[in-house]
Amino acid sequence: MKAMKKLNEKEIIRIFRQKKNIAEDVELFHLGKELCAANIDTLVESTDIPAKSDLVDVARKSVVSSVSDFAAKGIIPKFCIISVTIPRTLSKNQITKMATGFRKACDEFDLEFLGGDTNEGKEIVIHVVLFGKAGKIVTRSGAKNGDVIITTGPFGYTSAALQILLKKKKSTRKFSNIAKTKFFHPIPRLKFGISCKNLLSSSIDSSDGLSSCLQELSTNSKKRFVIMKFPVKDDVRDFVSMNKLDLKDIILNGGEEFELVCTVPPKNLEKVKRNAKKLKIDLYEIGIVTRGKHVILENDTGQSRIIDGGWLHFQ
């Protein structure tokens, strides 16, 4: 246990991988002449499920997490395998709710459910594995000087939802409903990722927070990311002000938004905007890519470095 306290999630992943190539959201492999893609994501009750969550939403969200990774690469997921660890205290009604959530998610994203495994444990643990056929993918390492940094939606709602749920922060009923809906029923940007994969230079999904996403893209592309505008709506600003919270922390260090954070060559930006408009997605242009390194916030007071403050297991 002492050794674990010295390692965070990313360091542990590096030990397991033992490879020099960049870790992507999905793994690619050849099956004969076919290039295929696979992804696995894990949801754990003690770290991922707030008390009194609806297990229909929990089950769906476990699938969304993997679908969002495919979205970031521009790959269509086709097949699904799910493994579930179930505590014996779970009732038949609760298990039925989980099954309903899995079934709804597979129908929603046109996935063929192949089966899976069940086991007994002390808490709910869900492993979702997706497979698809891969062609060209959008990597984390393709950002170029002059590219525009975008997100496929606003940030801050999931952070606000957890503040309301876990810390009983003040909120209007309308805002509380919006924030909780975005947290419990996120919409992965699969159609956007697929339609724009030939227009983006790099992409990642925001499961671990905006600051973490920006750092990953910046580091892997070996470029400086200059952020000049936060992707945030006024109701989030009002919530932050009402509760005297740190807006920067709420926007940058949340997680589970399942939006895409991408870089776009300027020549492709209008096409990307048109695709987003067709899909009724609000794009946010938040900065530019330049020579150098690190993620930098630039505003009227000058420049400051944005560090990776997103969710990290074992930290």
- Rounded to the nearest angstrom, the gap between the alpha carbon of residue 205 and the centroid of all alpha carbons in its chain is 4
Range of the domain at 75: 4-133
pLDDT at position 306 is 95
Residue where a domain terminates, one of 67, 98, 133 = 133
Query: How far, CA to CA in Å, does 235 sit from each of 53, 152, 174, 238, 247?
Result: 24, 18, 10, 5, 12
Which tens digit of pLDDT belongs to each residue from 82-95?
A: 999 999 999 999 99
Q: What parts of the chain have a pLDDT lower than 70? A: 1-23, 310-315
Q: Give CA–CA dist 244/215, Å, rounded.
A: 27
Instruction: Give the model's pLDDT for residue 52.
Output: 85
Asked, for residue 176, whether it belongs to a domain, the answer is yes
- Residue range 4-43, pLDDT digits in tens: 566 665 665 566 566 555 567 899 999 999 999 999 999 9
| 160 and 223 co-located in one domain | yes
Half-sphere exposure of 229 (CA within 13 A, CB side): 14
Q: What is the pLDDT of residue 300?
A: 84
Tokens 């590219």 belong to 147
Domain annotation covers residue 152: yes
- pTM for this prediction: 0.90
- Any idea what the CATH number is for the domain that residue 243 is in? 3.90.650.10
Q: What are phi and psi of 261, to 5 degrees?
A: -115, 120
CA separation for the pair 104, 228 (Å, rounded): 39
Say how far residue 189 (Cα) sits from the centre of its chain.
10
Distance CA(188)–CA(193), nearest Å, equals 9
User: Does residue 311 belong to any structural domain of this protein?
Assistant: no
76 falls within a domain:
yes
